[in-house]
Amino acid sequence: MTAFRDKIYPVGHPLGRSVLRLMLRTAAFVFFAAQFGFATQAMSADLRVAQNIVVQKDVAQKEADELPSVTVGPAPASKGPRIITRPNTDVDTPQKPNFTAPAKNLQLRLDPKTGQPLTGEQLDARGKSALTQAPVQAPIQAPRQLRAPKTGQAEQTATGNSPLASERTTQSAASGAGIQVKPLGQAKVSAIGLLNRAEGGFGNDMWAGTSLPLVTRLMPGLPVSTVSPVMQSLRRRLLLSVAVPPESVPPQSNGNDAPTDIHADTRTDADADDDGSALAALRIELLAASGDYAAVANLLKFVPRSADKGIYDRVRVEAELLAGNVRQACRMVRNRLGLAGGETIWQMIMAFCLALDGQSAQVELYEQLLYENGVEDEAYFTLLAGLNSGEAEPVDNIAHAQPLHLAMLRAARRAIPASTLKNATPVVLRAIATSPNAPRAMRLEAAERAEAMGTLTTDVLRRVYASIPFSAEQNADAVALAERQPGPSAAAILFQVAQIDAQVEGRAKALMAAWRNGRRSGRYMTSVRVNLPMVQAIRADADLAWFAASAGRALLAAGERDAARAWLMAVVEPARAGRVDATAAMLALAPLLYVTANNVPDQELDAIMVKVLTGWWQGEVANSSAERYQRALRLFGLLEALGRDVSEQLWLPLFDAPDREIRQASPSLLLGLARAAADGRRGEVVLLSLLLLGNSGPAMSDSLTLGRVVDALGSVGLVKDAGAVAFEGLLALDF
């Protein structure tokens, strides 16, 4: 210690001695504190606790109001007030930590008057007072029914035994027309689709005002084998449009007690479709029948399995059979067979699968079962017996070929009979066109028909045409050969000549011959689409006036209206100058352009139409055509249906037309079409129009029916489609 002092103060310094004495006193104090410190500390602690108890009791007597609480951490677990007590300070009874107990809350109680934190005694007092008070319980409410009440129970639910029922009823009555509570409607599977209004669909409201029984009765009759491009477009958009499904209850007409539904008196329980699955299945079945399997595959992605009625599985299995995936189809049939009900198609496919696996005994059992179920399909049983026994028997005729027949022929390595084409469906025609076990001539015929029905792409048909071999002599005399032997072979050779001819005139002549061949065989639209790139490559020129009408007509048929109009404008001035070939082209082409104007103003076309129609009729009279009255009635009637005025001078000569028998369309369909058009029911108008035109299309419809269809389509905003129907109707009479 002395050394420590000497380091700070020198020896003999007066402050050094004072520091030494202070250090000695401090050491003595520390020694005595060590002896008596514990007792002194305990006495001080007890004194402080006693003082705090007295102060807290005085403050608790003055506290009466409810105190706010600020909670930090998770919400309290108990509903009652939480009592916070002083921690146990007894060192002799240590407590174990409880890791399973719920997490405690850190609470800070404040005095509302002073804003200061409460002491522990104040909190104890408030906790004891809270325990002496009776807990306040919320009134028990009547249970609420989340499910919509059934009919006849609504009144009982509203006036039941609940003590609040009468109060709720009074409040509901007082609210008047305010908030209305209705049961949620069930989601409709039939609302699915692929086309909205911008993509060509008919809109969400296309079935507004149309009853479900009418749709389910009439839609199965939609033509699926038509070669009319506009009808194929209307049918596809009708089946693929995203729309609110029709209502199960038919609407009532204004001011009339008769229902709008023309089939309301024959409605049965079978027309009910609560979840919309029946209508969705019908749409998919029709798309599959028309050969649009790409659309079917996309729609099936949105159909829940709970809505399956067997049609979806059948469509999937037939698609696999057509694609040659027989093993996959067999696996699907085995999974479906126990759920198939009374449909014999699953038993027929299963027997085929067993024959492929060599299960002869089981095949014979299925064969007997099919006979007992009344299946009469000679071609099927012949092919099944051959696959089961290994002995090939001739199959000369398949009356109504199905995908199963084609799969069995392919598995047996048998050629497809020629008679299969006669009543073949669009999907079967496409399969034959690409089948390796069909003769070349059959594939060519099937390819043309499948392309015309819209199940085979035009590019595939072009490749088929290009694969047909012809000699140099045949190519040199292609036009004359096509005149002598019209048909698919003539179409193929003319297609090849139009591609290889370097001269514009030679190419134009080959194209005209191809279009004439298409008209004679009833496949004009197919010949137009196949040769479209060649005619597009020829520029409109007055020097080709002899080609203008044919080129313009073909371009219009392909939907290339601007290119067709260029050919018309190229011959207008030469026609005014008196050139005969230009005048003939103008008279032939202008009416077709006028029909397909789609209500778009065209001053140049409108300026010449009066003279064109007059000159056209004079030419018909000069030619003494036997069909001149029918052609004039068709043209003038369609123009009137499209909203074009036809002068009285043109109508008057038609009253001298001789009487002729006209095929009468269905009166009920015509009446339904007129009513649907008057009320603006777009989907119903399209449905009835397709039924009236039938598989034969506008080409075989009478002028009166054709005019009503065109007028109805235009009245619901489908002006372009109306013009296309009119155009096809004119082509049928050699316009």
DSSP string, 188-212: PGGG--SB-GGGT---TTTTTT-BH
CA end-to-end span of the chain, whole Å?
A: 134
Q: Are residues 724 and 687 in the same domain?
A: yes
The dihedrals phi and psi of 259, each to the nearest 5 degrees, come to -75, 155
Residue 30 burial (C-beta neighbours within 10 Å; 0-12, 13-18, 19+): exposed
Residue 676: CB partners within 8 Å, gap ≥ 6? 210, 684, 685, 688, 712
Within-domain flag for 570:
yes
Give the bridge partners for 247, in sequence order: 211
Task: Pull the structure tokens for residue 547.
Answer: 């080609």
DSSP secondary structure string for all residues of 517-567? HHHHHT-HHHHHHHTHHHHHTSPP-GGGHHHHHHHHHHHHHTT-HHHHHHH
In terms of domains, do 556 and 652 share one? no
Q: Is residue 76 part of a domain?
A: no
Residue from 246, 245, 241, 244 nearest 198 by CA: 241
Q: Do residue 600 and residue 677 come from a single domain?
A: no
* Residue 148 is assigned to a structural domain of this protein: no
Q: Cα–chain-centroid distance for residue 463?
A: 32
Decide which of 616, 647, 681 is a domain's last residue. Answer: 616
Based on the domain organization, do 606 and 678 belong to the same domain? no
| DSSP E strand boundaries for 279-419 | none
What is the largest distance, in Å, between two alpha-carbon atoms of the chain?
159
- Average pLDDT of adjacent 10-residue blocks, the chain of 735 residues: 46 49 52 43 43 45 40 40 40 38 42 59 64 47 46 39 36 43 53 90 94 94 95 96 83 44 45 70 92 90 70 88 92 75 81 92 91 90 90 83 92 89 91 88 93 94 91 81 85 91 90 93 94 95 95 95 95 94 95 89 90 92 84 94 91 86 85 96 97 94 94 96 96 91
Q: In this predicted structure, what is the pLDDT of residue 662?
A: 72
Query: To which H or E segment does residue 591 belong?
Result: helix 580-595
- What's the rounded Cα separation, in Å, for the pair 350 and 377? 16
Give me the pLDDT at residue 259, please: 38
What is the reported pTM? 0.72
Structural domain count, the chain: 4
If asked whether residues 312 and 233 sit together in one domain, one would say yes
Angle between helices 667-679 and 703-715 (to 10 degrees): 20
633 occurs within a structural domain: yes
Contact 424, 403 (CB under 8 A): no
In this structure, are residues 448 and 491 in contact, taking their beta carbons and an 8 Å threshold?
A: yes
Choosing from 592, 616, 640, the residue where a domain stops is 616
Triad 53, 58, 64: Cα angle to 5°: 120
Q: Which domain holds residue 735?
A: 625-735
pLDDT at 723: 96
Q: How many angstroms separate the CA atoms of 104 and 615, rounded?
A: 102
Does residue 162 lie within any of the structural domains? no
Whether residues 481 and 584 fall in one domain: yes
Query: What local confidence, expressed as pLDDT, does residue 553 receive?
Result: 96
Instruction: Identify whether 31 is part of a domain.
Output: yes
d(CA 64, CA 66): 7
Boundary-marking domain end, from 596, 616, 636:
616
DSSP 106: E
Question: How many Å apart are CA 126 and CA 725, to the nearest integer?
Answer: 90
- The closest alpha carbon to 682, from 186, 123, 241, 86, belongs to 241
Q: Which two tokens stand for residue 474?
A: 């045949």
The pLDDT value given to residue 397: 86
User: What does the alpha-carbon distance between residue 488 and residue 527 come to, in Å, rounded to a whole number?
Assistant: 10
**pLDDT score for 69:** 39
Q: Residue 119 and residue 60: Cα distance in Å, rounded?
A: 10
Cα 113 to Cα 92: distance, rounded to the nearest angstrom:
41
Q: Are residues 599 and 721 in the same domain?
A: no
pLDDT score, position 341: 53
Tell whether 595 and 648 lie within a shared domain.
Answer: no
Burial 66-76, CB ≥16 within 10 A → b, else e: eeeeeeeeeee
Query: Over the Cα atoms of the chain, what is R_g?
Result: 46
Whether 116 and 238 map to the same domain: the answer is no
Residues whose CB falls within 8 Å of the CB of residue 334, separated by 6 or more in sequence, listed in order:
350, 353
Q: H-type helices in 596-702, by residue range?
A: 603-623, 628-641, 648-651, 667-679, 682-693
State whether 607 and 638 are in the same domain.
no
Q: Do residues 197 and 717 make contact, with C-beta atoms less than 8 angstroms apart? A: no
SS3 356: helix
224 and 247 together in one domain: yes
Whether 463 is in a domain gets the answer: yes
Is 491 in the same domain as 608?
yes
Q: Please, which residues have CB within 8 angstroms of residue 331's CB and are 6 or more apart in sequence? A: none
Residue 247 has what DSSP assignment? B
Does any domain span residue 5? yes
The pair phi, psi for residue 247, each rounded to 5°, is -80, 150
